[in-house]
């Protein structure tokens, strides 16, 4: 072994070449030495054996995956410990948000789709029924906000032809949306 090629001065950690992520037997040894402490910490944080194992394993996977980028590879145990705590904190935060959402849902305070969203959805559905060139003309003119000249260039047609496509598409959309509104009014 070359000088400085050991993972750390800690005899409990396996040696590896120049802080490259451990592989094979070294990884298994690192796992065996690191996991009992990580699982104990996770258990003390969660109070649940299964959650603790999952949390410790997730933290280990994250630390090993970033092993090459650790500033101090000798401090793997400290990184692992910090990862366990961070993952637990993130889980608590996520649980708090979920509980707040469920509480709002139980009281009926969950926002529903507004009328604007429903109208927009109807518009997109009606737009999808148009012929391809009319749909493209409308999208280029009004959604992409292209000038008539630029939209005509994209469609490879003249400006008067584009105007006709837009006019026909608009009329068709209006008729479809009016028919939809009359159908709902009944």
Percent of the chain with pLDDT over 90: 37
Retrieve residue 70's tokens: 């650790």
Give residue 137's region: left, alpha or beta (phi > 0; psi -120 to 50): alpha
Q: Which tens digits make up the pLDDT trace of 93-121?
A: 888 988 888 888 788 766 666 667 777 88
Considering only CA atoms, which of 56, 48, 65 is closest in space to residue 85? 56
Whole-prediction pTM: 0.46
pLDDT band at 15 (very low <50, low <70, confident <90, very high): very low
Q: How far apart are CA 20 and CA 9, in angstroms?
A: 16
Q: How far apart are CA 123 and CA 96, in angstroms?
A: 37
Sorted by where each starts, the structural domains of the chain and their CATH numbers stand as 17-107 (1.10.1740), 115-185 (1.10.10.10)
Express each pLDDT in 52-92 by its tens digit.
Answer: 999 999 999 998 887 766 666 677 888 899 899 999 989 88
């Amino acid at each position: 072994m070359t000088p400085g090629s050991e993972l750390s001065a800690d005899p409990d950690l396996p040696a590896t070449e120049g802080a490259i992520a451990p592989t094979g037997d070294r990884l298994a040894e690192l796992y065996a030495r690191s996991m009992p402490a990580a699982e104990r910490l996770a258990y003390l944080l969660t109070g649940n054996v299964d959650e603790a194992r999952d949390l410790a394993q997730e933290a280990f996977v994250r630390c090993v995956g970033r092993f090459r980028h650790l500033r101090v590879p000798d401090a793997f145990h400290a990184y692992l410990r910090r990862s366990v705590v961070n993952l637990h904190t993130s889980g608590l935060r996520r649980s708090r948000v979920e509980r707040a959402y469920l509480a709002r849902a139980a009281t009926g305070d969950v926002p529903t789709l507004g009328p604007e969203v429903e109208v927009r959805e109807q518009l997109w559905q009606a737009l999808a029924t148009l012929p391809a060139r009319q749909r493209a003309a409308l999208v280029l003119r009004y959604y992409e906000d292209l000038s008539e000249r630029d939209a005509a260039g994209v469609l490879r047609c003249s400006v008067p032809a584009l105007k006709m496509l837009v006019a026909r598409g608009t009329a068709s959309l209006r008729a479809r949306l009016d028919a939809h509104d009359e159908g709902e009014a009944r």
